[in-house]
Amino acid sequence: MGNLLQPCLSHAPLHDNTLTPHGHRVGDDFRDGEDEKISLKDFSKKLQEFADAREWEKYHTPRNLLLAMVGEVGELSEIFQWKGEVENWEESEKEHLGEELSDVLLYLIRLADICGIDLTNAALNKIHKNAIKYPPPL
Ligand SMILES: Nc1ccn([C@H]2C[C@H](O)[C@@H](COP(=O)(O)OP(=O)(O)OP(=O)(O)O)O2)c(=O)n1
């Protein structure tokens, strides 16, 4: 997906000391534990800070984010392309799979946030609707 938002690709290291407009350190709290518990709202906040620090807000429009996410879905699909069903993923493949799934998730969370959607509520409501539409067999 490297080329889609080319003008904004001034990559900063993950653990940098840049201060966000909200006064947080950009590298703070991005990866601080093995079993971090983090809500979708917390993710949105981190992604907001990440974008703010790089002055990427202007590029993070709904359309751009949607296209970026679809591009990442394409990269995810490549992992499965031309293979049969994979029974056991090798560790290196799993790492790659995790990265591409994360790219899709992060763009999705950011897209929802920019569109003013509370994704936690929306997803819970959708599960509820699904359960009514598709009741389990008696
Ligand atoms: N304008 C941008 C550019 C990147 N990202 C973030 C969200 C994704 O998690 C990741 C995507 O980065 P790349 O575009 O570099 O894509 P890849 O990580 O897939 O790299 P490559 O395409 O080289 O495999 O970075 C972002 O939020 N906004």
Nearest residue to 28 via CA among 4, 54, 2, 50: 50
Given ligand 1 and candidates 1, 52, 101, which is best to mutate, with the most ligand atoms within 8 Å of its CB?
A: 1
Identify the pLDDT of residue 79: 97
Q: In whole angstroms, give the CA distance from residue 61 to residue 110.
A: 10
The values of phi and psi at residue 82, to 5°, are: 65, 20
Whole-number Å distance, alpha carbon 101 to ligand 1 midpoint, is: 12
Q: In whole angstroms, give the CA distance from residue 116 to residue 124.
A: 16
Report residue 54 CA to chain centroid gap.
Answer: 17
The answer to the question of residue 51 being in a domain is: yes
Q: In whole angstroms, give the CA distance from residue 138 to residue 136.
A: 6
- Per-residue model confidence as pLDDT tens digits over 21-40: 555 555 555 565 556 789 99
**Quick one: average pLDDT of 83-100?**
95
Residue 72 has pLDDT above 50, yes or no: yes
The values of phi and psi at residue 121, to 5°, are: -65, -45
Q: How many domains does the chain have?
A: 1
Q: Which ipTM was obtained for this model?
A: 0.96
DSSP code at position 6: G
Which range marks the domain in which residue 53 is found? Answer: 18-81+94-133
The pTM of this model reads 0.82
Q: In whole angstroms, give the CA distance from residue 129 to residue 123.
A: 10
The answer to the question of residue 10 being in a domain is: no
- Domain CATH code at residue 60: 1.10.287.1080
Nearest residue to 16 via CA among 55, 45, 53: 53
Q: Which atom of ligand 1 is nearest to the CA of 110?
A: 27
